[in-house]
Copies of this chain bind each other. A is one copy, B any other.
Amino acid sequence: MNNFIFQCSTKMIFGKGQEHVVGEELKRQGASNVLFVYGGHSIRRTGLYDKVVRSLKDAGIAFTELPGVVPNPRVSLVRKAIEICREKKVDFLLAVGGGSVIDTCKAASYGVFYQGDIWDLISHKVELQGDMQHLPVGDILTLPAAGSEESDSCMISDEELKIKSGFGAPGMRPVFSIMDPELTYTLPVYQTGCGCIDIMSHVMERYFSHTEDTEMEDRMAEAILKTVIDNFEIVLKEPENYGARSEIMLCGTWAQNDMIGSGKEQDWFNHGLEHEISGLYDIAHGAGLAITFPHWMEFCAKDKQCQPKLLQYAERVWGLSPDYLHPEKTISKAAGNLRTAALKAGLPTTLSAANIGTGKFEYIADRMTDGGKKIAGNFHRFTKEDILVLLEAMK
């Protein structure tokens, strides 16, 4: 186990009907003038919008609304949020939605105090010095997937440059997160599937590591993976099963607050690759990961150094009996099980199923390896040529 520092101060307010406390909680946190950020019509359709507005008014919280966040959230809206925060002297950002809405708020919360353009920080043109001044962010989560409700980072797209990039800081974790599993009852099967694949991917990016003596984190990672798998099956049949929706919501948070990654070298190759793909083609993040991760496993199965951990995953997470003489066969079965789960929710598992052609393979491999000069990933260390082979397999 490597040395590490872990601190996650987010106050998790979990359970039925908890969205009603948002006004009181904001008051407790010292907020008086809030920017209320959300996506589109869905929170109006479900009645959540009215509940939030009522709770804010009852608590005497002034607020300005900023709707319009889209999946793969755009820097243009972040800029707009920053502008409003400065103009209206906003003292707190409230995100009501999923990771895209929370990430928009996180980026804006730092941008308010940064004199240049926020894309400088997002794209690492300018690195954060220490933990720079920022506004607090709180959220009401409606989509368990990104884990942004407790994570210390955010991911934003420049829709013109067609690039996704992310930045983070210890102070970026939301101060509170209200998590009512009932708010996820209306999620379509496809979005539920994307969320579950995203959650599993956050776990697997940390799980597949060569750091030794990480038994507790490994077993906790397996705990989250097994729980997502079990409960995903349930919500496919019963979208309003409170217990199953609760499990998935809780897993989404613990998958990404980095507790299970503490003291480990992490990988993040699949996220890097998927961000390139969704930056170019604007597909859902979870859908992109459903394409990349099983293929990545099958690629890594040929690497003798990667086989033991992949076998452990196949056995402990999917309950497969390992074929020790031909580990790649067992690993391929595990990859296949992940693919089957994604297919059940209608997700693509090949690039062509997502209407993505082969035209940008060179571009993607170049960007991931700085034109072939760098290695991508830690678990298996990918050269540019490896990435081209992997992309070919994903066609």
Identify the A interface with B (CB < 8 A). 1-18, 212-213, 215-216, 219-220, 222-224, 226-227, 230-231, 242-244, 246-247, 250-251, 254, 259, 262-263
Contacts and interface: CB of A to CB of B under 8 A. Distances in A.
A144 to B, nearest CB: 12
Nearest to A230: B215
A14 B5 contact: yes
A247 B1 contact: yes
Nearest to A250: B216
Contact of A243 (B1, B7, B226): B1
A247 B213 contact: yes
A374 to B, nearest CB: 28
Nearest to A170: B11
Contacts of A227: 215-216, 219
Contacts of A212: 243
Nearest to A251: B216
A3 B9 contact: no
A14 B8 contact: no
Contacts of A18: 3
A14 B9 contact: no
Contact of A14 (B6, B11, B16): B6
Instruction: Name which of A222, A226, A250, A259 has the most chain B CB atoms within 10 A of its CB.
Output: A250
12 contacts: A1-B250, A3-B14, A6-B11, A15-B263, A212-B243, A213-B242, A213-B246, A215-B226, A216-B247, A216-B254, A219-B224, A223-B223
Given A212-B243, A219-B226, A6 B12 contact: yes
A213 B234 CA distance: 12
Contacts of A16: 3
Contacts of A11: 5-7
Contacts of A254: 216, 259
**Can you list the 5 inter-chain pairs with the closest CB atoms, starting with the nearest?**
A3-B15, A213-B243, A219-B223, A9-B9, A7-B11
A14 B30 CA distance: 32
A242 B212 CA distance: 11
A36 B69 CA distance: 51
B7 A12 contact: yes
Nearest to A13: B5
Contacts of A220: 220, 223-224
A194 to B, nearest CB: 20
Contacts of A17: 3
Contacts of A10: 7
A1 B213 contact: no
A246 B5 contact: no
A361 to B, nearest CB: 38
Instruction: Name which of A6, A216, A226, A244 has the most chain B CB atoms within 10 A of its CB.
Output: A216
Contacts of A2: 15
A287 to B, nearest CB: 24
A226 B14 CA distance: 28
B5 A8 contact: no
A78 to B, nearest CB: 27
A140 to B, nearest CB: 15
